[in-house]
Structure 1
Amino acid sequence: MMNAAFRPFRLVILLFLPALSWAQTGSDDFRPAASNVLNAEFPKIAADSRVQLRLKAPDATKVQVQGGDGFRKEPLDLVKDADGNWNGTIPSAGPGFHYYWFIVDGVRVNDPGSDAYFGYGRPTSGIEIPVPTEDFFLLKKVPHGQVREQWYHSTVTDKWRRAFVYTPPGYDANPKKRYPVLYLLHGAGENERGWSLQGHVNAILDNLIAEGKAKPMIVVMDNGYATAKGDTPAATNTPNDMMKRAATLEQVYMKDILPTMETAYRIQPGRENRAMAGLSMGGLQTMLIGMNHTELFSHYGFFSGAIFGNMLAEPKTAFNGVFADAKAFNNKVKLLWFGAGSEEKQFVTMATDTRKKLADLGIQSTYYESPGTFHEWHTWRRCFREFAPLLFK
């Protein structure tokens, strides 16, 4: 374990409503979404994944609805009824979780009927579309772990930071047992809540552990944004800004996150018990931080990783030559895992190109492609389901 002063933490348990599912009783059988706020009638979802939306705005002259990948890329015009409600139907939404919002006379607003999640750099409405053929991310009657809220003061940023930490079932009942750890990073525009709230990572792991498919582990989900004390924040999500942010975050991990977490939690020592993975921007950060520190990590996952070509323009010399000796790298790194949704073509290409450059050097890796999904949470839920069972074997 690394030495650091113990930081107090508060315990919270994050609960998730299961996604609605119902028999195919009729295409017009609309029901309120599981992600609605209490007693909200809209939005409603049909068995064929159509979504009815309604916003009461009697004084508005134009209302549209728009959303993230897999929901509604282009704005859809809503129609005003005699009661001042604006109504519309999304023809078919993709499976799983999606962000969306209304545009009221040119102003973006959230849906008061839906819960809000941190996405696109702000609290944003979200909707959970049922997936009748998949329940791996839903709460089941199995032993459950906990998600704890951990605050600590960063020596790099000189600010308080927050992480959410998953501890597996039985963690408190076995005070002498130690566990391997996965450091799991979110994407651009999201924060440390994403993997537990939108990703349901605790339910996925609970189910995998109960089925004997994954080892019990601790998962640290920290914030992917960091600005060194006295610096100006990298305000955009351009490749240069994301790489600048990752360089600062690397220092936060080395000086703050690892020492704090591995003192506050019963984590097994040694690189063989330490993994790092992330989605999109978090995949880029996993590459930039992880490949600079193979002495600390042995398993890596890149879910729709934003791995830009110039990062591996010269693969043999990249990251201080970590890939130069393929045999040594393959012996040291136990898992180099890539995943993407089949419909997010840019990220499929990034993963394919990266794996080819590494394969040409003799570096081994694994790839998974989520069928029919985009740059969205259902892709990353599926990625995590495939990735987690391979850790710490």
Structure 2
Amino acid sequence: MRKKLFFAAIAILAATVCVQAQNSRIVEEGGSGSYKAIMMEEPTLTTHTVFRPQDLSKFNKENPLPVIVWGNGGCANSPSGHINFLNDVASQGYLVVAIGPSNYRQAEAPRPGQTGDVPRMGQGGGMSGGTQGGGMPQMGGQRPQGAPQGGAQGGRMPQMGGQRPQGAPQGGAQGGAQGAGPRMGGMSMGDPAGLKAALEWAIAQNADRESHYYQILDIDNIAAAGMSCGGLQALHMSDDARIKTILVMNSGYFGGEDKASLNRMKQKSVIWILGGPTDIAYENGSDDFKQLSGTMPAFICNLEGIGHGGTYMQPYGGDYSKVATAWLNWWLKDDKESSAMFTGAEPGIGKMAGWSFDRKNIQ
């Protein structure tokens, strides 16, 4: 009888390890941060992918994990085009909950030192009428004249009016986000339902005594972030006061009532991270920043020449990871050293190659 119980226990353990191995992966040796991260699927939230420190024992009520909810380019139902970036942010001490499950068997992230495109996790390429690379569709689902079938390969978002900037390349930036899978079922462009589900899940896990996240999450410090169409999803969370800061990456509103909502945001701060004039979201995001009034701290920065693809799949998320992490550390962890990236007479970002910036209500 004891033998049977012993072997049964071994079988259960082996099955558990097998499932964990299939549903988790170490990306880029766990990232560049102090808390080596893991990319995984949580049984209680199989509609999303979680990036978080491997060792949760380092976190408690006194040192909790801030939370980031993430929306993908193209409103895609997979974060595969952003895994290096998301993993690296998590390795800095964050719980990142991204919309969409991932197929862990079909993709490998680039090794350190590699750039460029990576295999996609699963099939699909963004929204109908949209971009192969996980960007937003053209307004009305139409392609700009001369664009390749399926949209811009680099995952580009239309400017206001749906046109590419003059002289902008057809493809995305090298090292950017490649196709990120089909759109999350039933979601329209900018629908924040997936982000709201991630937010509610994190809050519930923090309160659940049976959860390994019990009382180790900092639910008072939550960010909404996203790329391209995912950036619109993040902006559409602006009426939720539980979100402390919003990161709008390679994105911006098209116009109309959405623009008006910018001055009703309930957050403490907002940042736009764009790819310069060749980023098809450049005009949208720049106009958002221009339209913003009031006293809320706001920052806009551009990495010239990178375009709409960003640096998400460059090693450790590239410069985007450095800038986003500094912003998150400042607003979610009150880290004064990180704030120097954006404050003072000579902000740190101004010393980084290729970056330009502007700011409001930030000294």
- Return the TM-score normalized by structure 2: 0.51
Does 1:322 pair with 2:264? Answer: yes
**Which residue among 297, 305, 313 is the counterpart of 1:364?**
297
**Which residue among 228, 239, 260 is the counterpart of 1:292?**
239
Larger deviation, residues 258-267 vs 143-152: 258-267
- Contact 1:152–1:260 (8 Å) recurs in 2: no
Q: What's 1:246 paired with?
A: 191
- What's the offset of the Cα at 1:150? 1.6
5+ unaligned residues in a row in structure 1: which ranges?
Answer: 1-7, 19-137, 154-160, 210-215, 225-233, 324-328
**Which residue among 219, 224, 229 is the counterpart of 1:281?**
229
The residue type paired with residue 302 of structure 1 is V
Q: What's 2:339 paired with?
A: none
Does 1:223 pair with 2:223? Answer: no
Q: Return the alpha-carbon distance in structure 1 between the equivalents of residues 31 and 224 of structure 2.
A: 25
Of the two structures, which has the highest relative contact order with CA contacts closer than 8 Å and spacing of 6 or more? 2
Q: Return the alpha-carbon distance in structure 1 between the equivalents of residues 225 and 299 of structure 2.
A: 14
Q: What's 1:259 paired with?
A: 204
Does 1:14 pair with 2:25? Answer: yes
- What's the offset of the Cα at 1:168? 2.2
Q: Return the alpha-carbon distance in structure 1 between the equivalents of residues 192 and 272 of structure 2.
A: 22
SS of the counterpart of 1:259?
helix
Does 1:375 pair with 2:321? Answer: no
- Contact 2:248–2:273 (8 Å) recurs in 1: yes
Q: What's 1:335 paired with?
A: 269
Larger-Rg structure:
1
SS of the counterpart of 2:292?
helix
1:31-180 equivalences in 2 (<5 Å): 139=31, 144-152=36-44, 161-168=46-53, 170-172=55-57, 178-180=64-66
- Greater share of residues in strand: 1
Q: Return the alpha-carbon distance in structure 1 between the equivalents of residues 196 and 34 of structure 2.
A: 38
Percent of pairs identical after alignment?
14
- What's the offset of the Cα at 1:219? 1.1
Q: Return the alpha-carbon distance in structure 1 between the equivalents of residues 33 and 272 of structure 2.
A: 31
- What's the offset of the Cα at 1:266? 4.1
- Contact 1:182–1:274 (8 Å) recurs in 2: yes
SS of the counterpart of 1:192?
coil
- Contact 1:302–1:338 (8 Å) recurs in 2: yes
Q: Superposition RMSD on alpha carbons, in Å?
A: 3.8
Cα distance per residue 1:245-277 (max 9 Å; x no partner): 605446645665753577442465675311110
Query: CA distance change for structure 1 residues 310 and 243 in 2, over 3 Å: closer, same or farther?
Result: farther
5+ unaligned residues in a row in structure 2: which ranges?
Answer: 1-15, 102-126, 131-136, 141-185, 335-363
- What's the offset of the Cα at 1:194? 2.1
Cα distance per residue 1:137-183 (max 9 Å; x no partner): x9569651222212447xxxxxxx43221222531455775311111
Q: What's 1:82 paired with?
A: none
Q: Return the alpha-carbon distance in structure 1 between the equivalents of residues 36 and 193 of structure 2.
A: 34
The residue type paired with residue 180 of structure 1 is P
State the number of aligned residues. Answer: 227
- Return the TM-score normalized by structure 1: 0.48
Q: Return the alpha-carbon distance in structure 2 between the equivalents of residues 246 and 345 of structure 1.
A: 22
